[in-house]
Chains A and B, each alone.
Chain A
Amino acid sequence: MRTRRALLSTAAWGALGLVVLPAVAWGGAGAQPFFASVRRVLEALERAGSALPSSVASELQQLASRGDDDAVARARQMLAPFVIADVTFNAQGDGDVKVTEQVLPLVEQGWRSFLVGVENPAGLQHAFLFGPTYESRTPGQDQAASNYQQAHHANGDFSKAVNIARLRDQRAGVSTQTVEPLRRELAGMPFEYRIVHLIAYRRGPGSIVVASAARNFPADRAVWNPESGAMLNFNAAASRDVEFRVRDADGRTVVASITIRDSQRRIYPDKQGRLAPDMYFQDHVYRASGETVRLPDGSYEIVATRGPEYEPVRRTVSIAEESVAPIEVQLKRWVDPARHGWYSGDVHIHAAGCKHYSVPSVGVTPETIIRHVRGEGLWVGEVLTWAPGFAEQKQFFTGSVAVTQGVLEHHEMHEAMESSLAPKPSEKDSESLLRYDIEMSGFPSSHSGHPILMQLKEQDYPGTSDPTQWPSWNLPVLQWAKAQGGVVGFGHCGVGLEPRDARLPSFEVPTFRNVGANEFLIDIAHDAVDFLAGGSTSPLGELNIWYHSLNCGFRAAMVGETDWPCITDERVGGGRTYVRLEKPPQGDAGYGAWVAGIQAGRLYMGDGRSHALKFEVGGVGPGSELQLPKARTVQVRALVAALLDAEDTLGAQGIRTRPWWRQPSWHLERARVPGSRNVLVEIVVNGEVQMTRPLVADGRPTPIDLEMKILKSSWVALRILGSLHTQPVFVLVGDQPIRASRRSALWCIQCIDVLVRSQLPRVKPSERPAAEVAYREARSTFERRAAESDSV
Chain B
Amino acid sequence: MTSPLRVRALGMMAASVGSLALASASGMPPVLRVTINPEARVSVEAVGPVPTVRCGGRVSVTLEVINESLGTQSLQVQVLSDGARVASPPLAPLTGAERESREIVLLLESAHPVDITLEFDAGPGTDDLGGRSRTHLYAACMSGTA
Q: Could you jot down 15 A-B contacts, CB within 8 Å? A: A21-B142, A181-B134, A183-B46, A218-B16, A354-B37, A388-B38, A467-B4, A467-B5, A472-B1, A514-B123, A566-B37, A662-B124, A662-B125, A665-B125, A762-B1
Pair A442/B136 contact, Cβ less than 8 Å: no
A705 at the interface (CB under 8 A from B): no
B102 at the interface (CB under 8 A from A): no
Quick one: given A444-B1, A538-B124, are A32 and B82 in contact (CB under 8 Å)?
A: yes
* CB-defined contacts of B37 to chain A, threshold 8 Å: 353-354, 388, 566
Pair B4/A443 contact, Cβ less than 8 Å: yes
Complex: A40 Cα to B134 Cα, angstroms: 11
Complex: A446 Cα to B6 Cα, angstroms: 14
List residues of B (1-58) whose CB comes within 8 Å of A's CBs. Answer: 1, 3-8, 16, 18, 37-41, 45-46, 49-50, 52
List residues of B (102-116) whose CB comes within 8 Å of A's CBs. Answer: 110-115
Contact of B68 among A24, A189, A442 (CB under 8 A): A442
* CB-defined contacts of B138 to chain A, threshold 8 Å: 33, 123, 125, 187-189
* CB-defined contacts of A538 to chain B, threshold 8 Å: 124-125
Identify the stretch in A308-316, A429-437, A492-500 within 8 Å (CB) of chain B at 4 or more residues. A492-500
Shortest Cβ gap from A752 to chain B (Å): 17
Contact of B113 among A30, A467, A566 (CB under 8 A): A30
Pair B82/A514 contact, Cβ less than 8 Å: no
* CB-defined contacts of B143 to chain A, threshold 8 Å: 22-24
Pair A185/B46 contact, Cβ less than 8 Å: yes
* CB-defined contacts of A40 to chain B, threshold 8 Å: 136
Contact of B125 among A36, A181, A663 (CB under 8 A): A663
Shortest Cβ gap from B91 to chain A (Å): 13
Complex: A22 Cα to B50 Cα, angstroms: 16
- Report, as a range, how many residues of chain B touch the other chain: 35 or more
Quick one: given A354-B37, A513-B73, are A659 and B46 in contact (CB under 8 Å)?
A: no
Nearest-neighbor residue (CB-CB) of B70 within chain A: A447
List residues of B (95-132) whose CB comes within 8 Å of A's CBs. Answer: 96, 110-115, 117, 122-126, 129-132
Pair A189/B131 contact, Cβ less than 8 Å: no
Pair B6/A468 contact, Cβ less than 8 Å: yes
Contact of B112 among A24, A183, A187, A511 (CB under 8 A): A24
Contact of A496 among B39, B73, B93, B117 (CB under 8 A): B73
How many residues in A have their beta carbons less than 8 Å from beta carbons of B? 68
A193 at the interface (CB under 8 A from B): no
Quick one: given A40-B136, A566-B39, A663-B125, are A468 and B5 in contact (CB under 8 Å)?
A: yes
Quick one: given A24-B143, A187-B115, A442-B8, are A498 and B124 in contact (CB under 8 Å)?
A: yes
B81 at the interface (CB under 8 A from A): yes
Complex: A466 Cα to B115 Cα, angstroms: 45
Pair A446/B70 contact, Cβ less than 8 Å: yes
* CB-defined contacts of B110 to chain A, threshold 8 Å: 29, 32
* CB-defined contacts of B41 to chain A, threshold 8 Å: 354, 566-567
A461 at the interface (CB under 8 A from B): no
Contact of B40 among A30, A281, A515, A762 (CB under 8 A): A515
Contact of B136 among A187, A446, A492 (CB under 8 A): A187
8 new A-B contacts, CB < 8 A, other than A29-B83, A441-B38, are A29-B111, A32-B83, A32-B112, A40-B136, A123-B138, A125-B50, A444-B4, A565-B129
Complex: A43 Cα to B71 Cα, angstroms: 31
Pair B126/A354 contact, Cβ less than 8 Å: no
Complex: A388 Cα to B8 Cα, angstroms: 8
Shortest Cβ gap from A528 to chain B (Å): 21
Contact of A466 among B5, B16, B68 (CB under 8 A): B5
Shortest Cβ gap from A708 to chain B (Å): 35
Shortest Cβ gap from A471 to chain B (Å): 11
* CB-defined contacts of A466 to chain B, threshold 8 Å: 5
* CB-defined contacts of A443 to chain B, threshold 8 Å: 4
* CB-defined contacts of A24 to chain B, threshold 8 Å: 111-113, 143
B69 at the interface (CB under 8 A from A): yes
* Dominant SS among interface residues on chain A: loop
A758 at the interface (CB under 8 A from B): yes
Partner-A contacts on B (CB < 8 A) = 1, 3-8, 16, 18, 37-41, 45-46, 49-50, 52, 68-74, 81-83, 93, 96, 110-115, 117, 122-126, 129-132, 134-138, 140-143
A333 at the interface (CB under 8 A from B): no
Quick one: given A24-B143, A538-B125, A764-B1, are A37 and B70 in contact (CB under 8 Å)?
A: no
Quick one: given A187-B136, A566-B41, are A36 and B81 in contact (CB under 8 Å)?
A: yes
B interface footprint on A465-492 (CB within 8 Å = 1, 0 otherwise): 0111000100000000000000000001
Complex: A422 Cα to B52 Cα, angstroms: 54
Pair B125/A495 contact, Cβ less than 8 Å: yes
Pair A183/B45 contact, Cβ less than 8 Å: yes
Pair A496/B38 contact, Cβ less than 8 Å: no
> Which residue, of A40, A443, A446, A662, has the highest number of chain B Cβ atoms within 10 A?
A446
Complex: A662 Cα to B69 Cα, angstroms: 20
List residues of A (171-193) whose CB comes within 8 Å of B's CBs. Answer: 180-181, 183, 185, 187-189
> Which residue, of B49, B122, B130, has the highest number of chain A Cβ atoms within 10 A?
B130
Complex: A567 Cα to B142 Cα, angstroms: 41
Shortest Cβ gap from B47 to chain A (Å): 9
* CB-defined contacts of A442 to chain B, threshold 8 Å: 4-5, 7-8, 38, 68
Pair B5/A441 contact, Cβ less than 8 Å: no
Complex: A707 Cα to B8 Cα, angstroms: 56
* CB-defined contacts of A123 to chain B, threshold 8 Å: 52, 138, 140
Complex: A513 Cα to B112 Cα, angstroms: 40
Complex: A28 Cα to B16 Cα, angstroms: 40
A563 at the interface (CB under 8 A from B): yes
Nearest first, the 7 A-B pairs at minimum CB distance are A468-B3, A442-B38, A36-B115, A661-B124, A661-B125, A33-B115, A180-B131
Nearest-neighbor residue (CB-CB) of A22 within chain B: B142
* CB-defined contacts of B142 to chain A, threshold 8 Å: 21-23
Nearest-neighbor residue (CB-CB) of A492 within chain B: B39
Complex: A495 Cα to B111 Cα, angstroms: 41
A157 at the interface (CB under 8 A from B): no
Pair B125/A537 contact, Cβ less than 8 Å: yes
B interface footprint on A10-38 (CB within 8 Å = 1, 0 otherwise): 00000000000111100011101100110
Contact of A444 among B3, B93, B125 (CB under 8 A): B3
A526 at the interface (CB under 8 A from B): no
Shortest Cβ gap from B41 to chain A (Å): 6
Quick one: given A183-B45, A514-B123, are A569 and B140 in contact (CB under 8 Å)?
A: no
> Which residue, of A33, A281, A466, has the highest number of chain B Cβ atoms within 10 A?
A33
Shortest Cβ gap from A346 to chain B (Å): 16
Pair B132/A180 contact, Cβ less than 8 Å: yes
Shortest Cβ gap from B10 to chain A (Å): 13
Shortest Cβ gap from B79 to chain A (Å): 12
Nearest-neighbor residue (CB-CB) of B136 within chain A: A187
A386 at the interface (CB under 8 A from B): yes
Shortest Cβ gap from B142 to chain A (Å): 5
List residues of A (355-375) whose CB comes within 8 Å of B's CBs. Answer: 355
Pair B130/A355 contact, Cβ less than 8 Å: yes
* CB-defined contacts of A30 to chain B, threshold 8 Å: 112-113
Complex: A29 Cα to B130 Cα, angstroms: 29
Complex: A29 Cα to B111 Cα, angstroms: 8
Contact of B126 among A32, A183, A446, A495 (CB under 8 A): A495
Complex: A386 Cα to B125 Cα, angstroms: 21
Nearest-neighbor residue (CB-CB) of A355 within chain B: B129
Pair B125/A183 contact, Cβ less than 8 Å: no
A568 at the interface (CB under 8 A from B): yes
Complex: A446 Cα to B141 Cα, angstroms: 43
A47 at the interface (CB under 8 A from B): yes
* CB-defined contacts of A33 to chain B, threshold 8 Å: 113-115, 138
A288 at the interface (CB under 8 A from B): no
Complex: A29 Cα to B73 Cα, angstroms: 37
A387 at the interface (CB under 8 A from B): yes
* CB-defined contacts of B7 to chain A, threshold 8 Å: 442
* CB-defined contacts of B136 to chain A, threshold 8 Å: 36, 40, 181, 183, 187
Pair A513/B131 contact, Cβ less than 8 Å: no
B interface footprint on A532-570 (CB within 8 Å = 1, 0 otherwise): 000001100000000000000000000000010111110
